[in-house]
Structure 1
Amino acid sequence: MIPALLVAVLAGGFIYQKIRNQPVYQGQLIGERVTPGQEVAVIVRWDTIGTDPQTQQAVIEYFGRRPAVMINSLMEMRIGALPGGLEIRFSPGQSADLVRVNPHQILDIKKLNLQEAAGWDQLRKTELNAFAAELCRAAAQAQLSDVAVEGLPRYGRPLGINAMVRGLGYHVEAVHDRIRYPCVMEDKEGWLFFLVPDGARQFEIRERGDDAHRSVLPLDFSIQITVPPTIEETPRIEPTLEEESPTAVPSSETSRMPPEKPASNAPPEPEMMKPE
């Protein structure tokens, strides 16, 4: 009787310890509202896009005449071209709060990110470079034909936002009042930045739910964020790719970002992807 009881106790202790040692990809964190008015500029370099010098020159000339501007209530994004590559510039809109979160405060998420970051980021780079090359071909052809590139808003997320994030930022989104908002930036220290409606005090970070996205995160990945009403005096944002000083942008064509295809059984798409 005693040996059987001892075995049961030991087995129970082993199971408890095993469950206790399982990684936890959930938690509650405090977000920080970023100092308003910050603008971020990054360069997607020509050598990563894979364009030839003739195409590069045509793209520079095209965007010199027709810089692309995509605006909605949450953000303004500009796409141009410089000798170093495509320039992506981003700034929050008047109706948005830019909130940053440090997911590495949850130890198991930090470990997971350090282990898987390179693979996750390769998916982002593949999509980014494909859309960058496609836009360059379209802009070069438009320059030769003296016409405007059609469908510019479709490059907002796969090119513009992808240039601002890394692996984890590419795979997550914020959900507030059942509306999804993509991660718009990820800095070198791993902080994630989200544009949410002005005054939002709580949201959830989870894996992206759109149909085209390939799931890579654990099923229980979920971070509940509380946003205090105060604004942190945050340092200047450092983007993840080569940075260029902002340059004057001439008056340009203005486009609206279209909605993405909503995922089945998922909350509606974010306002930032809806035309006004």
Structure 2
Amino acid sequence: MAIEFSCPFCKAIIRVPDNAGGGKGRCPKCATRISVPKTSTVKPADVPQSNAEPFVLSAAEGPPRSEPKPRLPTNLPAAATVAPVVVEFDPAELTRPRLGELPVDRTATTGAVVTRLKKRNSGNQSWIVGGIIGLGLLALAGYFGFSVLLTEKLSGELIAGTAATLDLPPTLIDKNQFKLPPADVSALLETLQQNPVPLNSLSMQIQLAGTEKGLQISLAAGGQAAFYRVNLSGNAAVEKYLSQHLSQLEAQRTLDIDQAATEFLVQYEKVLSKKSPPESITVFRDSLALTSLVGGLGHELVAVHGRGLYRCAYQDRSGGLYYLLPPGLTEFQLIGRKHVDGKTAVPAEFRVQVQGGIAPRKSADEKSPAKSSQSSQPPLENGEKVSSDGDEMIPGKK
């Protein structure tokens, strides 16, 4: 039994074999691809008899051809009333419905797809926006957590003792640390052994002398300074911080020494050959001498008094930090040293109370320092002397 239905677009009455129900084909009249219902949707009374030859579809895609149905006779009496023409699908034009495919008209399909896409995109956008907000909140929380970690300062009160002079052991930079040809290093160290270089300021006297093993650096108080030893032992916050960061601080200090040591010998050779003035090597008091005389923590903590910033001058094996400051102080501050990039490695801000003196220290396993004259400076060459007050100043303070 044939299935009869009307095209949803041109309203033509279409007749197909009953085994084509649920398939798809093109309307013979308007050529629109439409779905075939499984049962007739046109009442028999509505189907007129017509003398017109029915539309026949041309061959198209689909399963293998089946025998075409005979066409309706053309000599039937004319219908009493005018009605749409009944047309048949070419069996070759019919296709079976695919899995999950619903027979819907073209307009309805387009609208449904657009609606689904809008809903899907709307849902995706909601997820994307929500995800971005969530990630932003996590990043913000992480940033604030990291900022708190960086800005959480080591603070509190510390005790310091003072002494006018101290006999502190020198330190030695091994000759293998210099990144220069060994012959050049040996020649320059020999010259420094005969003519040690003073790097003095008002607060300290530093001497760089060559030895067979390397460059020896010794320290003594200047004429306008006294030693202040800050005791950090027993401070739980400092000990916890050092347990987490001391290796990084020491690694940075070692890197700074290696770089400054080689630069010093290069610059010293230029001074000897008259290519640079003697004052050009005073910068190595901080970058090389003081860096070599302290440990990782001392390298990053500076004392504050009045307008001055004072680098740590010495660090002993028990962790005591020595600063050369004006005599007679009763208190000063200890803060993290700010680098040229504006960053501070150690977030510290201590108030230091000066109480009592410094016990004499001279361990059997430490060498005595090389002698450094308080009244005169050893010549660099031909009586030339180097002296510079290199204490840093705090901008804006008076």
Structure 1 residue ranges without an equivalent (≥5): 1-22, 269-276
State the one-letter code of the partner of 1:71.
N
Measured against aligned partners, the alpha-carbon deviations of 1:14-54 in whole angstroms (never above 9, x if no partner) come to: xxxxxxxxx87211121011462424311011122333320
Structure 1 window deviating more from structure 2 (94-103 vs 155-164): it is 94-103
* Counterparts of 1:188 and 1:199, CA distance in 2: 26
What is the TM-score when the length of structure 1 is the normalising length? 0.75
Say if 1:44 and 1:149 are closer, same or farther in 2 by CA, change over 3 A: farther
Matched, 1:125 2:251: no
Question: Which residue matches 2:362?
Answer: 236
Matched, 1:137 2:263: no
Say if 1:123 and 1:149 are closer, same or farther in 2 by CA, change over 3 A: farther
Say if 1:267 and 1:92 are closer, same or farther in 2 by CA, change over 3 A: same
Measured against aligned partners, the alpha-carbon deviations of 1:132-177 in whole angstroms (never above 9, x if no partner) come to: 101122334555x477764121110000100011111111101112
Structure with bigger gyration radius = 2
State the one-letter code of the partner of 1:235.
R
Say if 1:69 and 1:237 are closer, same or farther in 2 by CA, change over 3 A: farther
Measured against aligned partners, the alpha-carbon deviations of 1:195-220 in whole angstroms (never above 9, x if no partner) come to: 110111100111013535642223xx
What pairs up with 1:1-276 in 2 under 5 angstroms? 25-34=154-163, 36-140=165-269, 145=273, 150=278, 151-212=280-341, 214-218=343-347, 221-228=348-355, 230-236=356-362, 244-247=367-370, 251-253=378-380, 254-257=385-388, 259=390, 267=397
Computed over aligned residues only, the root mean square deviation of the Cα atoms, in angstroms, reads 2.9
What is the TM-score when the length of structure 2 is the normalising length? 0.54
Contact 2:158–2:230 under 8 Å retained in 1: yes
Q: Return the structure number with greater helix share.
A: 1
* Counterparts of 2:276 and 2:247, CA distance in 1: 37
Deviation at 1:103, TM superposition (A): 2.0
Structure 2 residue ranges without an equivalent (≥5): 1-151
Spell out structure 1 runs of 4+ moving beyond 6 A.
Answer: 146-149
SS at 2:229 equivalent:
strand
Question: Which residue matches 2:58?
Answer: none
Question: Which residue matches 1:273?
Answer: none
Say if 1:248 and 1:188 are closer, same or farther in 2 by CA, change over 3 A: closer
* Counterparts of 2:317 and 2:284, CA distance in 1: 24
